[in-house]
Amino acid sequence: EPEVTQTPSHQVTQMGQEVILHCVPISNHLYFYWYRQILGQKVEFLVSFYNNEISEKSEIFDDQFSVERPDGSNFTLKIRSTKLEDSAMYFCASRTGRSEKLFFGSGTQLSVL
């Protein structure tokens, strides 16, 4: 069964460093998303991406964040200058153009020290 693939599974970085989280959405999916979940809290929407551009973003997704689809398969989330409060599990998700069901990757646990 096709699945959303995320790498790395764990990322440790120093405060102020840049990190890039990688995702390969399901191949025939058209909408791509990043969510995050701080330990013990809810899954929070960050950004959605469709037709090679951001279609919506939350107030969390400030200028420190960016997304890119550098080729036909990868979808990345960049955090330019990480803060302690960026420590969270980051989930990539995707869906087809016809169904609103979101399918999630296994996540990248980001720890900012």
Partner 1 sequence: QKEVEQNSGPLSVPEGAIASLNCTYSDRGSQSFFWYRQYSGKSPELIMSIYSNGDKEDGRFTAQLNKASQYVSLLIRDSQPSDSATYLCAVKLEAGTALIFGKGTTLSVSS
Q: Which residues bind partner 1 (CB under 8 A)?
A: 31, 33, 35, 41-45, 48, 50, 55-56, 58, 91, 100-107
Residue 81 C-beta: closest distance to partner 1, Å: 25
Distance CA 79, CA 67 (A): 9
Residue 99 C-beta: closest distance to partner 1, Å: 8
Token look-up 């959405």 returns 25
Residue 84 C-beta: closest distance to partner 1, Å: 21
Distance CA 91, CA 88 (A): 10
Q: Which is nearer to partner 1, 59 or 71 (CB)?
A: 59
Q: Which is nearer to partner 1, 86 or 103 (CB)?
A: 103
Q: Are 40 and 32 within 8 A, CB to CB?
A: no
Q: Which is nearer to partner 1, 57 or 74 (CB)?
A: 57
Alpha-carbon distances of 45 from 17, 63, 83, 100, rounded to whole Å: 23, 16, 18, 15
Token look-up 């069901």 returns 101
Residue 35 C-beta: closest distance to partner 1, Å: 8
Q: Which is nearer to partner 1, 25 or 107 (CB)?
A: 107
Which pair of tokens denotes residue 22?
A: 């990688």
